[in-house]
Amino acid sequence: MADKVQMSGRLPGEEKNGLKAHDEEFLDVEAPAPKFAVVQIERKSRQVDDDTDEVKVGVRITAIEVLEGADAEAAAKQITKLREKRTGVVTLSGVDE
């Protein structure tokens, strides 16, 4: 089954794209440590198949800011907590996935 929600491949313009400030880190030969970010996502499109009534939507990132320091640490904990709540699968502390 195909995904019903698909992400646009475009990022927002520079003013709303905090990822641009980290370009050099990602361009370096050594991959940077994973980053955490706050993103704003909006629906870009909605399509309904006339034959099957299947609905598909496209979403886009309209703003993104990379978190650092204590904010990034808090986000790492929050993303784990939210994933556990959504999936019901608890991640053991100190164990890599």
Domain residue ranges of the chain, discontinuous segments joined by +: 5-87
C-alpha of 1 from chain center: 22
pLDDT in tens, 50-80: 999 999 999 999 999 999 999 999 999 999 9
Cβ-based neighbour number of residue 8 at 10 Å: 14
| pTM listed for this prediction | 0.79
Confidence label for 92 from pLDDT (cuts 50, 70 and 90): confident
- Dihedral (CA of 25, 35, 15, 47) sign: positive
Distance between CA atoms of 59 and 21, rounded to whole angstroms? 23
pLDDT in tens, 81-90: 999 999 999 9
